[in-house]
């Protein structure tokens, strides 16, 4: 079974621009969660989607948004990029809702650099 696929692997953007990251979950997995990973803050939860609906949201500003499609693929968008948004963005999938109580399968992430 193919794992979680994230594209692109690397992105370089300029402050003020917007960016869209893509995630394809493991086949049959309906829940997709997004995490931001930085050296200082570690892994921080952004949001979880299940059946095309956002079910849970972390403590991030509204510039961070996401969506999920009917095939469970997910995208996250960051608008008006700031230097502090530079991070590794990780997507994780799970067969069922409730990412806090079930195994998460992570992709290898998208490394975003904002200059």
Q: How far is CA 32 from the centre of its chain?
A: 8
What whole-number distance in Å separates Cα of residue 114 and Cα of residue 46?
18
The β-bridge partners of 7 are: 22
Query: For another protein, what does the binding mask look like between residues 4 and 23, x meaning CB under 8 A?
Result: x-------------------
| Tokens (6 digits) for 61 | 């500003």
- With CB under 8 A, what is the number of residues at the site for another protein? 25
Per CB under 8 A, does 65 bind another protein?
A: no
Q: Which of 40, 48, 85 is nearest to 68 (CA)?
A: 48
Please identify which residue in 1, 2, 62, 101 interacts with another protein, judged by CB under 8 A.
101
- Residue 35: CB minimum distance to another protein, A: 8
70 vs 81: CA distance, rounded Å: 28
Residues in contact with another protein, shown as a per-residue x/- string from 27 to 46 under the rule CB under 8 A: ------x-x------xxxx-
Any contact of residue 86 with another protein (CB under 8 A)? no
Place of tokens 């990029």: 81
CB-nearer residue toward another protein: 3 or 16 = 3
Residue 109 CA to residue 87 CA, distance in Å, equals 10
**Residues contributing to the site for another protein (CB under 8 A):** 4, 33, 35, 42-45, 48, 56, 58, 90, 92, 97-109
């Amino acid at each position: 079974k193919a794992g979680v696929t994230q594209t692109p692997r690397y992105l370089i953007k300029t402050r003020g621009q917007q960016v869209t990251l893509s995630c394809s979950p493991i086949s049959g997995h309906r829940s997709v969660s997004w995490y931001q990973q930085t050296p200082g803050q570690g892994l921080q939860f952004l949001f979880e989607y299940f059946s095309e609906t956002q079910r849970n949201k972390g403590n991030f500003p509204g510039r961070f948004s996401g969506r999920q499609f009917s095939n469970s693929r997910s995208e996250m968008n960051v608008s008006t990029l700031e230097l502090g948004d530079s991070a590794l963005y990780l997507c994780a999938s799970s067969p069922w809702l409730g990412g806090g109580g079930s195994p998460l399968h992570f992709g290898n992430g998208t490394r975003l650099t904002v200059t």
